[in-house]
A and B are shown apart, each in its own frame.
Chain A
Amino acid sequence: MGFSHSLGGTTYRFDDLRTLLAKATPPRSGDVLAGLAAQDAAERVAARMALADLPLRHFLDEAVIPYESDEVTRLIVDQHDGSAFAEIASLTVGAFREWLLSDATDARRLSAVSPGLTPEMVAAVCKIMRLQDLVTVAAKCEVVTRFRCTIGLPGRMSTRLQPNHPLDDPKGVAASILDGLMYGVGDATIGINPASDDLDTMLRLLDMIETLRLASHAPIQSCVLAHVTTALKAIERRAPVDLVFQSLAGTEEANRGFGITLAQLDEALDAAEGLARGPAGANLMYFETGQGSELSSSGHCGVDQQTLEARCYAVARRYRPLLVNTVVGFIGPEYLYDGKQIMRAGLEDHFCGKLLGLPMGCDVCYTNHAEADQDDMDALLTLLGVAGCTYIMGVPGADDIMLNYQSTSFHDALYIRKVLGKRAAPEFEAWLAATGISDGKGELRFDPARLMPSLPLLGAEG
């Protein structure tokens, strides 16, 4: 069946649900590149009007990628909770937007409905929302996860310390970690992107962080962001793997491009549970996503990049991750052209992830060939802070010298916590005070003497 809507004397027709969703999407370069975007502004708003009239129930009858050919669609359909859906089953997409914004809809009702939502429903309502709508609703969501720190409590905003080094040199990584800890950064995770995805590198870096953790008694959880198959080998060696990482895509085909299947992720979660490093019931996985990765690997199946991004979250929620992060501006201007597109996408992803029950963070970032700069990042960071973003990245001086892009800095974390009155995770905050990195009131002291217990990592020089 198709859809149509008349606007200004023109009747716009949309062949199927995936076309309707694509045409309704706010403009972005990736959908143009894929040949899926609306032809003009009028067609775009006509698609949004048609979408607003569509009953949510319709999403249970029409898949954007066939059930038979895609395991992500099968996961979405098979995990759908009909009783959770009941409260909103009679709504259209347009009415669902109003329900989400209503003062009567609080954190409890949002999380009760969440298992009844498919990612396509969430993507659809997202497309007809303004930035302030995305902020309002996301700010109401509460998603709390736990490993050694508790992430996502009200009034808190966590940070992933990202101490990358182009040669994976443990001392170089350690130097950035120590700098970040002095700035009170690292309560979400200390997460290293290795330049080289091999087992020896992973083991060497894990060993260094474990030494730091045990020497400092810091309540940190670490992650080396190698491929899940590398992590499985490390776990076989009983290496100190806290969190298992994987990049996700929203289609089976694009996941194959990442070299993963859902069965492999199942196996990885089992293996991480087997190590029993976290407290009982701990969340053990860390996922990264980002609009455009499916098109980048020629696995988009004719679906727009924002809808595909929401489908990643259906994959993620199966594994109860500690952290999920949209690396929004990393992919480049052929997917998100400028600061405006990056900003909108970051808030969309955060909203969709939160609504689907995920501990959503955002890598507020850009590359040097995108039309963006630090001012755009400040605007997105501030909006995400107001929206209750679970965590952000902390990169020394905002400059990742291994991945060659700009993210948020340790200073940015100080800024957003200060202007919004946000605090680090309680366990981490207590550790900062106990070690003297912060004073009794939670203010950082920047006293280099506090680094001394960690100096064996660097061969006790200095």
Chain B
Amino acid sequence: MSETDDQAPATSSSDDWSWLSRYTAARIALGRCGPGLPTSAHLGFQAAHAEARDAVLKPFDAAGCAADVTARGWPAIVVRSRAADRATYLQRPDAGRLLAPDSEALLSEPRAPADIALVVADGLSSRAVQVNALPVLDTLMPLLAATGRRLSPIIVAAQGRVALADHVGELFDASASIILIGERPGLSAADSLGLYLTWMPRRGRVDSERNCISNVRHGGLAPEDAAKQAAELIARMFKHRAAGVSLARLPQLPAPDGS
């Protein structure tokens, strides 16, 4: 570094009201250079967007996820939706809601029926599943096992939307389904997981018939707490034999993956 670098003139101006940031996480008081953003704020935005984009686009390692699940002692089956690739998945939500023919055939083989169908799907953030699915299952599985209800293997699905659990639940003739699915990343969080619970999961169910637990991540709703909420909702579903708005105590949110 030369002497002149040390004495470089200020090239951007700060906004001297950064104390307002105590009231909001919004990007205020960023400063400026002419009409533009200072370089640090400009590239900071790109970093946040890159993290979100990578969460959407990075392929989901379904086999690796299934191996982790099996290592815990829970059976797992890898499937995929009818969306053959990410571009199709993003443009054809209808394809993401149905099992691919080979996966449908696989799940149609004679199996023990289940009361509760369990699904883990990438949704819009493979990273959310990678980071938060196992921590949810670690709390959820013992709680569900303790009810004595029959559980399906954990169906690990690539290119899945929320309603894929309806197709899975139908094949297991399940009374309820739980799907853990990556939510659409925001700039502030790219690893949010959502849990959707459906009573009598069958193809054609609509989102107003589901219960949703959203924003599951470290810094949001803790995975352990989300698992406990899910177990409680399941217990109430079997008691009232219903789901959706009629059962809602937790706020209903629109499906973040646009299902």
Give A contacts to B, CB under 8 Å.
Answer: 29, 32-33, 163-166, 169, 171-176, 178-179, 182, 332-334, 337, 367-369, 373-374, 395-399, 401, 404-406, 409, 411, 414-415, 417-418, 446, 448, 451, 458, 461-462
Contacts and interface: CB of A to CB of B under 8 A. Distances in A.
7 contacts: A33-B92, A169-B23, A175-B24, A176-B26, A368-B55, A405-B186, A451-B17
Contacts of A405: 186
A368 B53 contact: yes
Interface in B15-39: 15-17, 19-21, 23-30, 32, 34-37
A401 B48 CA distance: 13
A172 B26 CA distance: 8
A79 to B, nearest CB: 33
Nearest to B92: A33
Interface in B181-200: 184-188, 190
A451 B19 CA distance: 12
Contacts of A448: 15-17
B197 to A, nearest CB: 22
Contacts of B15: 179, 182, 446, 448
Contacts of B258: 332, 334, 369
B45 A178 contact: no
A33 B26 contact: no
Contact of A334 (B16, B17, B55, B92): B92
Given A395-B26, A406-B187, 16 more contacts: A29-B91, A32-B91, A171-B24, A172-B23, A179-B26, A182-B15, A334-B258, A337-B90, A337-B91, A399-B27, A401-B24, A401-B186, A409-B27, A414-B32, A446-B16, A446-B32
Contacts of B46: 374
Nearest to B27: A397
Contacts, number: 132
Contacts of B48: 399
A214 to B, nearest CB: 21
Nearest to A179: B28
Contacts of B23: 169, 171-172, 174-175, 458
A227 B41 CA distance: 35
A415 to B, nearest CB: 4
Contacts of B27: 396-399, 409
Interface of B: 13, 15-17, 19-21, 23-30, 32, 34-37, 41, 45-46, 48-49, 52-53, 55-56, 90-94, 124, 184-188, 190, 258
Contacts of A374: 45-46, 49
Contacts of B20: 175, 178-179, 458, 462
A346 to B, nearest CB: 19
A417 B35 CA distance: 9
Contact of B41 (A172, A176, A397): A397
Given A178-B20, A334-B93, A462-B19, A396 B28 contact: yes
A203 B16 CA distance: 31
B26 A175 contact: yes
A369 B32 CA distance: 29
Contact of A414 (B35, B92, B124): B35
A175 B28 contact: yes
Nearest to B258: A332
B249 to A, nearest CB: 16
Contacts of A409: 27, 37
B13 A446 contact: yes
B227 to A, nearest CB: 23
B21, B32, B90, B94: most-surrounded residue (chain A CB, <10 A): B90
A8 B139 CA distance: 65
A333 B25 CA distance: 27
Contacts of B32: 411, 414, 446
A374 B16 CA distance: 26
B16 to A, nearest CB: 4
Nearest to A459: B23
A448 B13 CA distance: 13
A276 B21 CA distance: 36
Contact of B184 (A169, A178, A368, A399): A368
Contacts of A417: 35
B139 to A, nearest CB: 26
Contacts of B53: 368
A444 B85 CA distance: 49
Contact of B49 (A368, A395, A404): A368
Given A334-B258, A406-B187, A415-B36, A176 B90 contact: no
